[in-house]
């Protein structure tokens, strides 16, 4: 039988199912009646011929010269380069490529060291399946506890970390070490004088030590919430309503000091604590508003009386000065006349009475006055 092999092809010759040799481009005759069979394959990419194992094929000189075989050892990963360019991640342990028209290379990266080295570039990382490595991002103000197989190794500060998952199961616990606010809203308290009120309390805190915290605390926010509630009830319940309203800042300091005494239990540092709002029952609020209105009205009356006394004292002083000084009296007369003239268009007076007397009679006049006699 006639076989024509092109320049880009190779032929695998078998006799009675046994590999004989590999032939390159050309024309060949193999009698089928003698048990010969030829399989033709393009010499591009990966070798697809599976009729004979690689260990048999590699003994043929033509096959060995035209191919490249790559193996990835245990604990390592491979990245395939074609003509110097990264093309794919190698997900098998063995590869055989035609090495005639294209150049194939395999870059092998070891996973035996748990910490991923700098040799793994972003380009390689973009092709690497996530199941092979663990990435941990630690942000500003955070710390991370690193664990290998649930055994704590060290703390990680701000940065990006990558670890191979081949030798160990790697996990990380991230803790925010910045200060946080805890609000207790609408906490109901019965005062010493048996009046039910509600308080809004806020406190600021931060985690003191991440390692100690991880060993002791499970639900920090829930435990802190309960601790602040207890401190409020213990302290505020000892005061009457009037005392709470007057001593808000002092009571806030007592709450803060009470929490400072308990902070070691929660592996935190309390920074501030205090009462934000005091919410009174409706009827108590109405009474307080009435008292406030009464106080302000009394203050207004006092101010009004004070102004009246000051005005009367000023008039008395003016009268005394006018009695003692005739010139001042005349000036007041002229001022008096000026005011009257602003209200009328024309004024006529006679000489039978004093000017002040006549002007006094004309205080209510709004129309023109005529001279009589």
**What confidence tens digit (pLDDT) does each residue in 210-262 have?**
999 998 888 888 999 999 999 988 898 888 888 888 888 999 999 999 999 98
Residue 111 covered by a domain: no
Q: Say yes or no to pLDDT of 351 above 60.
A: no
| Sheet with 268-279, edge to edge strand ranges | 180-190, 196-207, 268-279
Residues 159 and 171 in one domain: yes
Domain count for the chain = 5
- Which distant-in-sequence residues (6+ apart) come within 8 Å of 349 by Cβ? 355, 358, 359
Residues 192 and 234 in one domain: yes
Residues 346 and 310 in one domain: no
pLDDT at 326: 67
**Lowest mean per-residue pLDDT among 55-64, 90-99, 117-126, 300-309:** 300-309
- Give 364's pLDDT tier (boundaries 50, 70, 90): very low
* CATH number of the domain within which 267 lies: 3.30.479.30
- Could you tell me if 90 and 78 are in contact, meaning their C-beta atoms sit under 8 angstroms apart? yes
Residue 113 covered by a domain: no
- Give 8's pLDDT tier (boundaries 50, 70, 90): very high
Domain of 269, in residue numbers: 180-280
Residues 315 and 342 in one domain: no
Residues 11 and 99 in one domain: yes
Average pLDDT estimate for 134-163: 95
Residue 299 covered by a domain: yes
Residues 267 and 299 in one domain: no
pLDDT at 302: 79
Average pLDDT estimate for 270-295: 74
Residue 117 covered by a domain: no
Mean pLDDT for the chain overall: 84
Average pLDDT estimate for 337-341: 67
Average pLDDT estimate for 134-142: 94
Domain boundary among 246, 280, 314: 280
**pTM of structure:** 0.67
pLDDT at 347: 55
Residues 307 and 229 in one domain: no
Average pLDDT estimate for 175-202: 88
Residues 10 and 101 in one domain: yes
pLDDT at 195: 81
Based on the number of CB atoms within 10 Å of its own CB, is 98 exposed (0-12), middle (13-18) or buried (19 or more)?
buried
Residues 8 and 95 in one domain: yes
Domain boundary among 74, 106, 138: 106
- Which distant-in-sequence residues (6+ apart) come within 8 Å of 24 by Cβ? 5, 10, 11, 62, 66
Residues 101 and 11 in one domain: yes
pLDDT at 148: 96
Residue 261 covered by a domain: yes
Residues 138 and 151 in one domain: yes
Residues 151 and 243 in one domain: no
- What pLDDT, in 10s, does the model give residues 16-53? 989 999 999 999 999 888 889 999 999 999 998 888 89
Domain boundary among 218, 253, 280: 280
**Lowest mean per-residue pLDDT among 15-24, 57-66, 77-86, 295-304:** 295-304
């Amino acid at each position: 039988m006639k076989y024509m092999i092109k320049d880009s092809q190779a032929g695998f010759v078998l006799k009675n199912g046994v590999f004989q040799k590999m032939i390159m481009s050309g024309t060949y005759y193999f009698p089928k009646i003698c048990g010969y069979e030829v399989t033709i394959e393009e010499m591009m990419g990966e070798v697809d011929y599976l009729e004979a194992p690689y260990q048999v094929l590699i003994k043929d000189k033509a096959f060995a010269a035209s191919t490249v075989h790559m193996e990835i050892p245990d604990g390592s990963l491979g990245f395939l380069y074609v003509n110097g360019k990264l093309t794919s991640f190698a997900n098998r342990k063995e590869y055989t490529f035609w090495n005639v028209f294209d150049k194939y290379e395999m870059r092998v990266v070891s996973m035996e060291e748990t910490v991923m080295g700098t040799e793994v570039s972003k380009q390689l990382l973009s092709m690497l399946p996530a199941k092979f490595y663990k990435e941990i991002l630690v942000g500003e103000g955070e710390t991370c506890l690193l664990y290998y197989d649930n055994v704590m190794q060290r703390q990680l500060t701000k940065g990006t970390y990558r670890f191979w998952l081949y030798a160990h199961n790697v996990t990380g616990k991230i803790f925010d070490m910045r200060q946080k606010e805890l609000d207790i809203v609408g906490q109901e308290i019965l005062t010493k004088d048996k009046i039910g009120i509600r308080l809004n309390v806020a406190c600021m805190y931060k985690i003191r030590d991440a390692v100690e915290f991880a060993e002791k605390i499970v639900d920090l926010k829930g435990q802190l919430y309960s601790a602040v509630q207890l401190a409020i009830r213990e302290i505020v319940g000892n005061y009457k309503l009037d005392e709470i309203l007057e001593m808000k800042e002092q009571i806030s300091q007592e709450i803060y000091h009470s929490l400072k005494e308990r902070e070691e239990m929660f592996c935190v540092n309390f920074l501030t604590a205090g009462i934000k709002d005091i919410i009174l029952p409706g009827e108590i609020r109405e009474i307080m508003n009435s008292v406030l209105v009464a106080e302000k009205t009394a203050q207004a009356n006092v101010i009004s009386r004070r102004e009246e006394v000051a005005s009367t004292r000023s008039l008395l002083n003016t009268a005394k000065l006018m009695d003692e000084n005739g010139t001042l009296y005349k000036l007041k007369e002229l001022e008096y006349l000026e005011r009257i003239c602003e209200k009328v268009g024309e004024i006529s007076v006679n000489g039978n009475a004093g000017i002040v007397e006549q002007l006094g009679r004309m205080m209510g006049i709004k129309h023109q006055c005529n001279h009589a006699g």
